[in-house]
Structure 1
Amino acid sequence: MTANGAPGSSHKRGHRRVSRDGNVTFKRRSTSEIMTAIQLGIEYTVSRENHTPMRDLLTHDFCVVESFDFPSDGGRGTPAHKLSSFAFKCYAPAAFRHFRRFYGINMAQFLHSICASSLLELPNAGASGSIFFRTADDCFIIKTVQSGEAKYLRRLLQQYYITLTQNPGTLLPKFYGLYCYKCGSKRIRFAVMNNLLPSSVPICEKFDLKGSTYKRRASPEEKAKACPTLKDLDFREIHPSGLLLEAEAYDQLVDTLARDCLVLRSFSIMDYSLLVAVCNLDSPDAVCGDAEVKLNHQLIPTPQPDAIAPHPPPTEQQRWHPASATAPPADPELESAIKRSPISGLPARNERGDRLLLYVGIVDILQDYRLAKRMEHTMWSLVTDAESVSVVHPDFYSTRYQSFLREFVFKRSVD
């Protein structure tokens, strides 16, 4: 069975290809080879931070690019390995070191999460054909990004740093590293980010919300997946009364969304989404399809590279414990899974009064409103209402996005 669900057939989306025998490649490089190279590269570049004292960030730190060669038989300070020789670039290492430190992630935890255990390749590629890897402890996602997205993120880094310091509770993606792996003529850029979806908690619904209505219904192909990502019109059909939050949680969420949208609008960013995953505490068996998230049976393990020495687990003082406020679920196993997860959920209730945990975050923020997007907006405007499509001016997008979330998605408890 291949990634598109058809046995014996090949499937390609963007640069990601799944062969007839189930092997996954990206830009014609095996994803297992890419993953091993990524672990080697991060292991080497982040470990070098031990030799550099921590200091205040300077403007030029956001523009620094460090490059290292990894020949198969070993190079100056780099280990020998069984892969093809490759080069590895690390963008703005001092800046990302500060980002990680700001969120309480030290070098030991970062390396232990990424390099000590096999990473898991997520089977469902994004619309652009990206590849996703998740660390075994659920803390981080590694995602391939296009060249333009990587350049755009680098341009935003200094303002992004200001945003983090002013609004530490932001729902924007938290970027912890930006790298480039080059083998032969192929360049593969990828970012390390916070993970939004816990693998040990059963997810019953998952939504990608943009606040638009044109073509914002999941396709039959998507709905046939084990854990489909539904869209705006699907949400309104499933939850016509929205999701009820306590007054304080609602006010904080709306305020955070407003602050985040102001930042995105100032960057001329649009077409971003709010990812909302729902866990039903009163019906823990109501999971997506075959319980992909609960059982992890669709995750593809990447073999542990021999060249990477495992790091000892972080000590109790080093361990990362995000705050979590949840009502005890009826199922003791579910309660234990929630407590073990490094990802916090937002308590809510549905129209039936079931207790829910919502896992929420803004995704796909590296889309600016430049010529290509303006042309796309003009094209769609010829066939439908210009204000209903997702590609619109950032100011209008921000206003419509927030209005949709307040009016249809999140409701404030009056008790």
Structure 2
Amino acid sequence: MSSIAQSVQVHIDPTEDEDADGVDIGKKHKLGHLRVDMQGNVTFKRLPITQLVEALQLGIQYTVGGLQAKAAHDVLYQDFLTVEIIHFPKEGTKTTPAHHFNDFTIRSYAPVAFRHFRELFNIKPDEFLYSICKPLRELKNPGASGSLFYLTSDDEFILKTVQKKEAEFLKCLLPGYYMNVTQNPRTLLPKFFGLYCYQGDNKNIRITVMNNLIPSYLQMHETYDLKGSTYRRRANSAERRKDSPTWKDLDFMERHPDGLLLDVETYNALAKTVQRDCRVLESFRIMDYSFLIGVHHVGASTESGGDRATANLMLTPSEQTSVQPKRMMYSTPMDTIQVEFDEHNKPDDHLVKSGGIPARTAQGQRLLLYVGIIDILQSYHIRKKLEHTFKSVLTDGNQISVTNPSFYSERFQRFLFSTVFKKATPNLSENPISLRESPVKRRSRLSKMLQTPEPDKEIIQTPTIMRNTRDGANTSPMARRSFEITPFHLHQSAARYLNLLLVE
């Protein structure tokens, strides 16, 4: 297989990080299982990442392709427990090709169940393989866990390494997750489309395939990872030095003290979606999840030439003419929250295509928001309970991240919809240049206001007699005579005035 992941370039910085929150990969030359040697070569569990990616692509190609030869059937409970094992010897077999790596094995967990997940979101097998098996782009922000993140070239999927306990929890979660996704496909929760394990060279590396939340064709001017907690919830110095840092709760409160303004319909729809998703997470005893927000400043000028340039930054020349909507159903925030708009105040076409949620800052800066709930594979087990008890001794237990799922859910929603998101004031939402309305739609709406209702036709034909009551001594005969004005004349005058406004 010729597709090779792009190499990683990690900046080795010997500067000590004064903040205790987070780990600087440059300080220890490693973060979790991710290591970088002095020559810049990157390994994961001491396995070259190029070998890991190519082997995984080969394994997914065979396990997904093999499912197409099997008859489809309804998902049974045993399908969640099935593990498909495919061996790939170096010299090849009758069904597997030869390769230049050491022998390895790919384990595919619950392949039939994940096939139903993909079908539910209109992901066809050939399209899924086309996305996965093309060269992948590595996201160079591994986060605190040291996980590997890969993005498919079409912006559809994320491949992420997960820990053994997270993979085991996801396997236990699958039956309930399947029931929830089937009943409610419009969710901000992660959408899982596959769980695999690479086994080779005495290594076990588990990888999950998920939907991508943040589009790469738009520049994200701000990114936030929010939990509703204030205890040590500030980006550390290593994170702040990055070109695109991920800010946290206290950073958001400093940068946006007045929050982000949403119109009433969007605010209510987003709150309803988050409330429903948090109820699901609470039922699974899940906590310590985050709300990811990518913020794009509409109209912000850049060195590349503004929004059009940033939108085309990651695209090939043949793709730069227009940004195509995603193939996956319910893949954008606007699709997910299912906002009901008034007829005269529907989103513009370019907003529908991008999928971002329109918003404003308190200063009037127009924004597009890309949001989702992430890191949901953390259950409130004995280890987390002990962590909560220990941290409660050091600070207020209500402010730390790890806490009871019910309280976590309540605090999470309260922070989002009282501090982060706020309803736009009536004066702002009624402004002719509203959160969503473009000049073209504004002209259309005002033009409709000029149209005469059918019941008023009879009134137009009835003249109103108006007589000049001024003293005629200093007026001409023309000024002293009576004249007739109809409502139609008044309507024409108002129309001329509004047309002048539209032209301006």
TM-score, normalised by the number of residues in structure 2: 0.72
Moved more, 347-356 or 200-209: 347-356
Q: Aligned letter for 2:62? A: Y
Structure 2 counterpart of 1:352, from 358, 363, 372: 363
Of 291, 295, 316, the match for 1:278: 295
Aligned to 1:146: 163
Q: Spell out the pairing of 1:197-346 with structure 2 (5 A cutoff).
A: 197-285=214-302, 295=313, 319-320=327-328, 344-346=355-357
Q: Which amino acid aligns with 2:377?
A: L
Unaligned runs of 5+ in 1: 298-315, 330-334
Contact 2:219 2:311 in 1 (8 A): yes
User: 2:80 maps to which residue?
Assistant: 62
Aligned residue number for residue 100 of structure 2: 82
- The partner residue of 2:44 within 26, 41, 48 is 26
In structure 2, distance between residues paired with 1:96 and 1:57: 10
Task: Give the Cα separation in 1 of the matches to 2:270 and 2:303.
Answer: 26
For residues 397 and 30 of structure 1, the distance between their equivalents in structure 2, rounded to whole angstroms, comes to: 39
Matched to 2:151, the amino acid is R
Q: Which amino acid aligns with 1:409?
A: V
Q: Which runs of 5+ in 2 are unaligned?
A: 1-7, 15-25, 316-323, 336-345, 430-504
CA change 1:378–1:292 in 2 (3 A) is farther
Cα shift at 1:126: 2.2
- Between structures 1 and 2, the one with greater helix share: 2
- Partner of 1:89, secondary structure, is strand
CA contact (8 A) 2:12 2:29 kept: no
Q: Are residues 366 and 292 of structure 1, via their aligned partners in 2, closer, same or farther at CA, if it must alter by over 3 Å? A: farther
Distance 1:294 1:350, change over 3 A: farther
Report SS of the residue matched to 2:265: helix
The whole-number CA distance in structure 1 between the counterparts of 2:235 and 2:96 is 46
The letter for the 2-side match of 1:108 is: D
TM-superposed CA distance for 1:3, in Å, is 1.6
After superposition, give the CA deviation of every residue in 1:136-190 in whole Å (9 maximum; x if it has no partner).
Answer: 1110000000000000000000100111122211100000000000012100000
What is residue 383 of structure 2 aligned with on the other side?
372
Q: CA deviation at 1:27?
A: 0.3
1:264-321 deviation per Cα after TM superposition (whole angstroms, max 9, x unaligned): 111111100000000011215399xxx9998569xxxxxxxxxxxxxxxxxx9x9547
Checking the alignment, whether the CA contact within 8 Å between 2:218 and 2:296 is kept in structure 1 is yes
CA 1:286–1:366 in structure 2 vs 1: closer, same or farther (change >3 Å)? farther
Alpha-carbon distance in 1 for matches of 2:217, 2:167? 31
**Percent identity for Structure 1 against Structure 2:** 50
Higher RCO, Cα 8 Å, sep 6+:
1
Structure 1's 339 and 19: CA in aligned 2 closer, same or farther, altered over 3 A? farther
Provide the aligned length of Structure 1 versus Structure 2.
Answer: 383
Aligned match of 1:410: 421
- Structure 1 residues 14, 104: closer, same or farther in 2, change over 3 A? same
CA-CA distance at 1:10 after TM superposition: 6.6
Contact 1:269 1:368 in 2 (8 A): yes
**1:99-114 equivalent positions in 2, closer than 5 A:** 99-114=117-132
CA contact (8 A) 2:228 2:249 kept: yes
Contact 1:202 1:284 in 2 (8 A): no
Deviation at 1:133, TM superposition (A): 0.7
TM-score, normalising length: structure 1: 0.87
Counterpart of 1:77 in structure 2: which amino acid?
T
Residue 275 of structure 2 aligns to a residue whose secondary structure is helix
Match among 172, 186, 190 for residue 155 of structure 1: 172
User: 4+ runs of 1 displaced by more than 4 Å?
Assistant: 7-10, 291-297, 318-329, 338-341
Structure showing greater radius of gyration is 2
Q: SS of 2:174's equivalent?
A: helix
SS of 2:391's partner is helix
Against the structure 1 CA distance between its residues 340 and 276, is the aligned structure 2 distance closer, same or farther, given a 3 Å change threshold?
same
The question of whether the paired residues in 1 share the 8 Å contact of 2:218 and 2:310 is answered with: no
Q: Where does 1:130-209 land on structure 2 (aligned, <5 Å)?
A: 130-209=147-226
111, 115, 120: which one aligns with 1:93: 111
Between the aligned partners of 2:86 and 2:11, the Cα distance in structure 1 is 37
Q: Which moved more, 1:360-369 or 1:69-78?
A: 69-78
Alignment partner of 1:6 is 2:13: yes
Deviations 1:16-58 (A, max 9, x none): 0011111110000001110000100001100011101221111
In the alignment, which residue of structure 1 is the partner of 2:501? none
